[in-house]
A and B are shown apart, each in its own frame.
Chain A
Amino acid sequence: MTAQLLTFYLFSGVILISSLMVISTKNPVHSVLFLILSFLNAAGLFVILHAEFLAMILIIVYVGAVAVLFLFVVMMLDFKTSINKDNILQYIPIGILIGVVFIAELIIVLINTKFDLSNIQVLPNPLSDFTGKSNTEAIGSVLYTDYILYFQLSGVILLVAMIGSIVLTLREREGVKRQVVSEQLQRQGKINLVDVKSGKGVDI
């Protein structure tokens, strides 16, 4: 139990410190890297809770895909000119407002919820039917039966978002030559000898 406790404090300590660094470092790339560090440690916390499937999915989806795209976008920014210290003060009131709302919500939730700490062993297997099964199996058999509608709906929402962003950025451009591999392969006589007139080119 002590080793578990030590690892818990290690992971959560790193999460807290790196989350602080996310908002306090001046370099946006460093903040994304600290964000990734806190994601990884959150995955570590999941492992302590015996939720190894969630931990791996957190790493694969958030760290392996989403955060890479974050890093991509941030790396493209010319951040040396975009940092302006005068602007920081003007956002403080809004920041404080959001913080106060969050703390108020947390307090309301905490007052109305009773945590039963004596029963903490239930946490890894909150659904009693699945004792003995690995949590991958347990999640699968709940997700694809009882919650199939919500699961499919969230998939459709993601699909709509994807198609929307593709449609928004799609534009037909005049005079762009594209390579069509199937046409190239079907050409009669794969090698042609052509006398090329200068300035005119060939018509293939």
Chain B
Amino acid sequence: MSATDIQDPNRRDFLYVATGMAAVVGAGAVAWPFIDQMRPDASTLALASVEVDVSSLEPGMSLVVKWRGKPVVVRNRTEKEMKDGEAVNLAQLKDPLARNANLPADAPATDANRTTPGKEAWMVMVQVCTHLGCIPLGQEGEFGGWFCPCHGSVYDTAGRVRAGPAPENMSVPVFQFISDTKIRIG
């Protein structure tokens, strides 16, 4: 067997590929911490849950709390607002999904699915327009719900988008009533 009698792929090819792969994995391992540090840090994630006392809210009153840097509205809806919300034909909705983090992703956007069982009067919702993140104004617009002044999206009394450029209903965060007068969001 002479020195030039080598088969393809030979030992050298294997070493090239193996070295190249090790370099790629190494480069990836070095790059990852630089990308990873950009993600929300531990102190930001620690603020991921807040408790709200809602005992002072009579029907027709709202309060806004800051959760993850965004405003969350807690609204004790009036009888009329609830009736308006229930009366909506789901076929008319721009976004047919509930967008409720407490329910499966494919839950339909009924009024009940936008709230929590037994507490249907209470809307708990991230009050951020799903278009480009402005804060809609409460109890404005033709559906008596929310109206975004930035680009004119209109939401109904259950926070479902009814007109304008917004693609989705405003999102309902993970929340629960930990007592009759206290809500934990997150």
Q: Do A and B come from one complex?
A: no
Chain B residues with CB under 8 Å of chain A are: none
